[in-house]
Amino acid sequence: MTAAGSPLAPADTGRIAGSGAWRQFARNRGAMLGAIILLAIVAAALCAGLWYPAKPLRIVGAPELWPFESRLFPLGTDSLGRDMAAMLVHGARATLLVAVAASLAATVLGVLVGAAAAWFGGWIDEILMRVTELFQIIPNVVFVLTVVSILGPHIENTTIAVALVSWPGIARLTRGQFLSFKGREFVQACRTNGLGPWRIAFGEILPNALPPVLVMGSLVVAGAILYESVVSFLGLGDPNVASWGRLIGEGRTLIRTSWYICAVPGLAIMLAVLALNLIGDGLNDALNPAFRRR
């Protein structure tokens, strides 16, 4: 009840729940550490054009300068004399672009498929779930490499390939959430009040089903970074784009003598994936009602 004796409005309830979730997330030290690391990576990607306005793949110095050996090249140069720092921050742009775009596409597709399967049921549910299982039984890495090989080594094709292997898990999770809410009292009340099926599904059920989907979405971004790195590592990525996987792939032949060429982008991938997993754990703790009550 409010001070005037009237019940809280839905908007007020949502704000209270949101503030409680934020406080729970902020108390999670691992999640905050992950957020700081991710913000640093995003800031480096956004400032790449200011710090290194020239093309990152151009030769600028002597080959195989080790990190901190020259003040002009704080992270050294690769076997061709290209600036590792320039390629790293520009590579963050390409890697994060593919990961975020693929995650958004996979989330939208997964939510639509899972919601439609649970809401309509029957033969629609059977067909959509069989298609989902078909995508799940194909080895993800093999499928991504096959799609990129067929479509061509472009960053857009890598994004499509990663999205195609990432949506089935979100679809199954969304379907489970919709089925758990489909028989609730508030849904029956909406039907009694004459709300249409689309309004009920996407206006009433979907907002309640989103928290676990958001958690999985953060993990999909982490997986997308790894998939993109594998594609670029094997030489199937866009040859005109500097990405972290490409840097590792080009430096693997010199791993015995100049191991830093692989270690620097490998550390960037590790930090990005670690940050996203920490954020995912924090979101799960903050958005999970059982954790909030505890």
- Domain architecture of the chain: domains with CATH: 26-56+69-293 (1.10.3720.10)
| Residues in contact with 219: Cβ distance below 8 Å, sequence separation at least 6, in sequence order | 276, 277, 280
Map residue 83 onto helix, strand or coil: strand
* Among the listed residues 160, 137, 136, the one whose alpha carbon sits nearest the alpha carbon of residue 148: 160
Joined tokens for residue 214: 């958001």
Residue 8: its pLDDT value, please? Answer: 39
Question: Which tokens is 172 given?
Answer: 């199954």
For the chain, residues with pLDDT lower than 50 are 1-17, 293-294
- For residue 106, the model assigns a pLDDT of 92
Helix axes 155-182 and 84-120, enclosed angle (nearest 10): 40
Per-residue model confidence (pLDDT) at position 20:
67
Query: pLDDT (tens digit, 9 = 90+) per residue, 75-124?
Result: 888 888 888 888 899 989 888 988 899 999 999 999 899 888 888 888 88
Q: How many CB atoms lie within 10 A of CB 26?
A: 13
Partnered with residue 59 across adjacent β-strands are: 82
In this structure, the number of other CB atoms found within 10 A of the CB of residue 138 comes to: 14
Residues 67 and 77: their CA atoms lie apart, in Å, by 8
- Tell me if 229 sits within 8 A of 244, measured CB to CB: yes
Rounded to an integer, what distance in angstroms lies between the CA atom of residue 176 and that of residue 132? 14
Note the pTM of the prediction, 2 decimals.
0.81
At residue 196, the pLDDT reads 67
pLDDT of 18 reads 54
pLDDT computed for residue 19 by the predictor = 60
Distance, in Å, from the CA atom of 247 to the CA atom of 90, rounded to the nearest integer, reads 11
Q: Which of 44, 88, 32, 95 is nearest to 222 (CA)?
A: 95
Q: Please name which of 136, 204, 227 lies closest in space to residue 173, comparing C-alpha atoms.
A: 136
Q: Residue 114, Cβ neighbours under 10 Å: how many?
A: 29
